[in-house]
Chain A
Amino acid sequence: MPERKSAAPRVNDFTLKFANVNGSGSASANALVMKTIFRMGVPVVGKNFFPSNIQGLPTWYEIRVTRDGWRARSGRIDLMVAMNAETYARDLREVAAGGYLVYDSTWPRPNLHAREDVHTFGVPFAQLCTDNFEGARARTLMKNIMYVGTVAALIDIDLEVIRGLLAETFAKKPKLVDSNMKAIEIGYRYAKEHFQCPLPIRVERMDATAGHVMIDGNTAAALGCLYAGATVGAWYPITPSTSLMDAFRSFCARHRTDAATGRRDYMIVQAEDELAAIGIVIGAMWNGARAFTPTSGPGISLMEEFIGLAYYAEVPAVVFDVQRVGPSTGMPTRTQQCDLLACAYASHGDTRHVLLFPDSPEESFHMAVQAFDLAERLQTPVFVMLDLDIGMNDWMSPEFKWDDAWRPDRGKMLTPEQIAGIEKFQRYLDPDGDGIPYRTLPGISPKASYFTRGSGHSRFGAYTEDSAEYQDVLDRLTRKFGTAAKHVPPAVIDGRGATTAIVSLGSCDAPVREALATLRRSGVAVDYMRVRGFPFGADVEEFLAAHQTIFVVEQNRDAQLRALLTVETAVDKKKLRSILHYNGLSMTAGFVIDEIGKALDQGVAA
């Protein structure tokens, strides 16, 4: 039987986990804890594990306190706040040896002492709420806010910072500040009186969060749409992309609405389905407005026919795919990178699309802006590949910067003056040799008119069933895709001349970076490349060619990034070894270290 001894003191380096019932108001309590630690200048990572349900199912929230500023989950739980009787047994199991567990001791729990190596703290939250608050709803909500006080005492969080946050949240309802603070103080006092506070795992003020914000990727992408000048948003609600349009709507209500008249410089259309949502985007961009749709895997499946039309008829479109676990309905509230192939080759016939892979909310903001430029420059659909982890979790992020000199790149769009100066407009020529034709907008001049069609067309835009005319256009589209490779953002490369490397993308970056540091500290020489766009550029080819053993780390079962690399580059596929994570939870650094460690033990790499 292991001893119940305390872990070594770990200031600003531990993980808390809250086990709750969803719909009980726990989300705001947990966010309050995280935000308070952040305000105390200590870097945090927050991960929400929630069910596809409105009320009653288990939900968890993990907060990693990380003085080194890591961005991934740690993989170990030091303090569990076990508020859900249904999941109590497994929550207890998850606590690291020497760790701590807080539970509601109002009712006895039969398996309470199943572990001797975990310190358990019983707080009669329900009883304390009954004693101090009136009304069933208030008592339930206050139970959750009360544990914030207990946790604050245990890990030494500043109550004044909490009070300040509550005052901001409830600026218009000061009464709520008082009732919430009352509950917090009850929980705080109880811990102080009954337990030895603080624990060896505790928070100490730092100054490592200045110039940073806590923001999720969907909100950041919506902000990017606002700044890029998008005016039309069309969508069909789907988890986990819904909050992107919610955020766009609230930014536009504030920044795109005439205060005097209420008239709007934007339109958000809730479509009847994803088939219509992408149609609306294509129609709007064809007609010169910047338009986008946020969706997830099932939406991508539904949009495919229209995506093929936009590819072939060369109409710009911007799609945000906030990826979730598939196939089919899958697990809508869990994360994965499982739509890489579906998006890269969406639709029937020979189609290939431009993809962007942000690793964080900050890149989601910038890549959202870039997506509109690329879509208009290349006259083709562009996919911004977020995932639930980036899209819906709050990430500590450097404040985004904006260059006021920036103007949208509308690409090769003829102005009325240019049209007046030409004899005849032809839609699908390649005068510049980069595969990109010139386009015109409706409404300008009868000389500018052309017919957009998904049926076979010649370089003049005319209907054709002539083999040579058809191939001529298809081959130009291949040239255009080559041009796209020069326009997508370059890979981020951390090369130190090693022969072994990791290649990854998107939200894998956070755990991979941490793993990389650990591996290097232990003497393993390993380089790293994070791809940020598709089609792959020359930099990706060179990196692959320069390394002997390449671990491809991604979050899906079928090694979709590896598949793309083998199909779209000259790499010898034997060099590529997959590290795959697809259980729906955000990957930890420990997972990457273990997997690479195992491979190295088997003598895989140098």
Chain B
Amino acid sequence: MSFIAKPKVANPGLPRNDLGLNRRDYEGSMSTLCAGCGHDSVTAAIVQACFELSMPPQSVVKLSGIGCSSKTTAYFVAGAHGFNAVHGRMPSIATGANAANRDLRYIGVSGDGDSLSIGVGQLAHAIRRNLDMVYILENNGVYGLTKGQFSASADVGSKSKKGEANEQQPIDPVLFALALGASFVARSFSGDKEQLVPLIQAGLAHKGFAIIDVLSPCVTFNDHEGSTKSYAYVREHTETPVAADYIAPRQEIRVQYAPGETVSVPMHDGSSVLLRKLDPGYDPTDRARAAAYVQERAMKNEYVTGLIHVDTSRRDFHAQHATSDTALNAVPFERLCPGSDKLGKILAQFR
């Protein structure tokens, strides 16, 4: 980590977005993670995604649990409120925050330690609610802050820095999310920004729970020979059946694709996600086939990346609860309180 205070001066020549903001306006405080940490690349991708979408910084809410990954919410979009919850319990904070104000964009950042052990229950139920948020799971197979214990995503046979091999079955967040009916499931690699940025943008456009499992190597405790979450291993063992391009509302699609190669998925906000099928037989709207595909590739030691599954038909958390269009934290008190006359009538039932 660096102890130098982050300079706030921006190069006047930097490109600006529709709001007149530059990339630096979407950054946060200086990262305190190890040099080369995959998480810092994910942070950079979030900054890029928000900048390109011209999101007002205050329209974003950043949420996290506890762990290295959870620290990163302080490192992007300084103009957004952030909430660093307790270990594994970010989804419940996100649920409450989202219940209170449906108008903001919720970006959760968690890790494999935070999400797949103590947090596995809350993650499961956030998926079941189809909570409208992007949930980025920075997955490195290891506990960093407590110095190198295996996490629940460590693969069988993967070796710790001390040479010990893991024997317990891993929890694959992608398969887990597919099994629970998540409406948007993606996987990416912190070293592949070109893939990750549009996935984050598509996740933000998706009305519902968008989980992105990002393989994000830990340079200090899990980047060695024998680890299945090292930079070298992940680079060589990824396979992408479907690439996703985020197409903003009214944006023109410039590239021409051969018929049958692409599928355009319209999002509720007028944008769309253009899926480019790299494997012609793959159908990301077919949940069961997607799960089988991911599992088959896992048996061959391959990580499937890209937009693995999307279902825009499922009703999100607020639709399920039929809440008013007005954010609950903005409903006027006069509409909430029935008043003294009605109190008399209510109490009359108890006479």
Are the C-beta atoms of A280 and B92 separated by less than 8 Å? yes
By beta carbon, the residue of chain A nearest B336 is: A229
Chain B minimum-CB-distance residue to A262 = B322
Which of these binds chain B: A267-275, A504-512, A569-577, A585-593? A267-275
Which B residues are CB-close (under 8 A) to A279?
A: 85-86, 89, 91-93, 95-96, 122
A contacts with B, residue count (CB < 8 A) = 73
How far is A306 from B92 in the complex, measured between Cα atoms in Å?
11
CB under 8 Å from chain A, chain B span 319-344: 321-326, 328-331, 333, 335-340, 342-344
Q: Max chain B CB contacts within 10 Å: which of A214, A226, A267, A280?
A: A267
A203 at the interface (CB under 8 A from B): no
Q: How far is the CA of A228 from the CA of B338 in the complex (A)?
A: 10
Closest CB in chain B relative to A293 CB, distance in Å: 10
User: Interface code B40-82, partner A: CB below 8 Å = 1, 0 otherwise?
Assistant: 0000000000000000111101000000000001100011111
The reply to whether the CB of B298 lies closer than 8 angstroms to some CB of chain A is: no
Enumerate chain B residues within 8 angstroms of A226, measured Cβ to Cβ.
336-338
Flag whether B288 is at the interface (Cβ < 8 A).
no
A141 within 8 Å of B by Cβ? Answer: no
A265 touches B92 (CB 8 A): no
Q: Shortest Cβ distance from A46 into chain B, in angstroms? A: 13
The answer to whether A272 and B121 have CB atoms under 8 Å apart is: yes
Which residues of chain A have a CB within 8 Å of any CB of chain B?
Answer: 39, 212-215, 219, 223, 226-229, 231-232, 234, 251, 255-256, 258, 262-269, 271-273, 275-289, 291, 305-306, 309, 399-404, 407-408, 440-455, 463
A255 touches B323 (CB 8 A): no
Q: What are 5 of the A-B contact pairs (CB < 8 Å)? A: A265-B336, A272-B124, A284-B329, A288-B100, A440-B81
A266 near B74 with CB under 8 A, answer: no
Do A232 and B328 touch across chains, with their CB atoms under 8 A apart? Answer: yes
**Taking the complex as formed, is B233 at the interface, i.e. its CB lies under 8 A from any CB of chain A?**
no
Q: 8 tightest CB-CB pairs across the interface, nearest first?
A: A283-B96, A279-B92, A446-B79, A289-B100, A288-B329, A284-B96, A442-B81, A287-B100
Contact A227 B81 (CB under 8 A): no
Partner of A399, one of B104, B324, B338, B344: B344
Known: A267-B99, A289-B329. Is A275-B89 also a contact (CB below 8 A)?
yes
Summarize A's interface: helix, strand, loop or mixed: mixed
In the assembled complex, B103 has its CB within 8 A of some CB on chain A: yes
Closest partner residue, chain A, to B92 (CB atom): A279
Q: Give A447's nearest chain B residue, CB to CB.
A: B79
Chain B, interface size category, equals 35 or more
The reply to whether B92 and A283 form a contact with Cβ atoms under 8 Å apart is yes
Instruction: Flag if A264 contacts B57 (CB, 8 Å).
Output: no
**Interchain CB contact under 8 A, A227 and B343:** yes
A454 and B93 within 8 A (CB): no
Summed over the interface, the residue pairs from A and B with CB atoms below 8 Å come to a total of 224
Q: How far is it, in angstroms, between the C-alpha of A227 and the C-alpha of B346 when the chains are bound? A: 12
Closest chain-A Cβ to B100's Cβ sits at a distance in Å of 3
Q: How far is the CA of A443 from the CA of B62 in the complex (A)?
A: 11
Residues of B within 8 A of A215 (CB): 347, 350
A408–B351 Cα distance when bound, in Å, is 29
Report the nearest A residue to B321, measured CB to CB: A267
Alpha-carbon distance A272/B100, docked complex (angstroms): 19
CB distance from A242 to the nearest CB of B (A): 19
Asked whether, in the complex, the Cβ of B329 is within 8 Å of the Cβ of A451, the reply is: no
B88 CB, min distance to chain A CBs, angstroms:
9
Identify the closest chain B residue to A399 (Cβ).
Answer: B347
Instruction: Indicate whether B97 reaches chain A with its CB closer than 8 angstroms.
Output: yes
Q: Are B323 and A286 in contact (CB under 8 A)?
A: no
Q: Please, how many angstroms separate the alpha-carbon atoms of A288 and B329 in the complex?
A: 5
* Cβ contact of A265, chosen from B98, B129, B331, cutoff 8 A: B331
Residues of chain B within 8 A of A219, CB atoms compared: 350
**A455 vs B73: C-alpha distance when bound (angstroms):** 14
Please indicate which of the listed interface residues B59, B85, B321, B344 has the most CB atoms of chain A within 10 Å of its own CB.
B85
Which of these, A255, A283, A288, contacts B83 with CB under 8 Å?
A: A283
**Does B85 contact A309, Cβ atoms closer than 8 Å?**
yes
A401 and B81 form a contact (CB under 8 A): no
Interface pair A289/B328, CB less than 8 Å apart? yes
Say yes or no: A463 contacts B329, CB within 8 Å.
no
Point out the residues of chain A lying under 8 angstroms from B228, CB to CB: none
Contact between chains at B347 and A400 (CB < 8 Å): yes
CA distance A255 to B342 in the complex (A): 9
> Contact partner of B350 among A213, A269, A291, CB < 8 A?
A213
A286 to B124, CA, bound (A): 23
Contact yes or no, B350 A452, CB < 8 A: no
- Whether the Cβ atoms of B89 and A287 lie closer than 8 Å is no
The yes or no answer to B94 lying at the interface (CB within 8 A) is yes
Is there an interface contact between A263 and B350, defined as CB atoms closer than 8 Å?
no
Q: Chain A residues near B89: list those with CB within 8 A.
A: 275-276, 279, 305-306
Shortest C-beta distance, B46 to chain A (Å), equals: 16
